Amino acid sequence: MEAKGLLCQLMELSVVFMLHLFDKILSLTNSLSTYCQSKAATMTTAFTLVSSTRSVLQDMQSSDSFDKLYCAAISSCAKFGIEVDVSMPSVADDAQCIAVPESNKKRKRTGAQSTKFKDSVVLTTLGHRGSSCRNFV
């Protein structure tokens, strides 16, 4: 039963995007981490690796890099049949992403927020399943 809820959460564009982002960041920082943990590490080489890793990570903050990551996430969603919310701001048109089939697009209803949470920011809720999760229940 718990695996069904996890599967529903994993089948969202935001999770796929974060997976792509973490894959990129961790692959960039792996060589630095490995070198700094080795017994043969020197301060000069470590400083050079830190500087180059830092510059690459700063370059990732550009909109071109974001567009590439976003397109990779959109492509993965299309490949694995994950529905993409069309109401989200999209850079897909500007970035030449692979088109998502109409059958994979969904429109979300806007829900009313409880008055108990009027001074709060609600990022996610539990207990409400979207249409993509109905197949797993």
DSSP H or E segment with residue 21: helix 13-37
Question: pLDDT by residue (tens digit) across 86-125?
Answer: 555 555 554 456 554 545 445 555 566 677 767 776 666 6
Token pair recorded at residue 45: 């080489």
Global model pTM greater than 0.85: no
pLDDT for the residue 104: 47
Q: Which of 20, 7, 14, 2 is nearest to 124 (CA)?
A: 14
Residue type, 109: R
Half-sphere exposure of residue 86: CA atoms within 13 angstroms, side-chain side: 9
What distance in Å separates the CA atoms of residue 18 and residue 106, rounded to the nearest whole number? 20
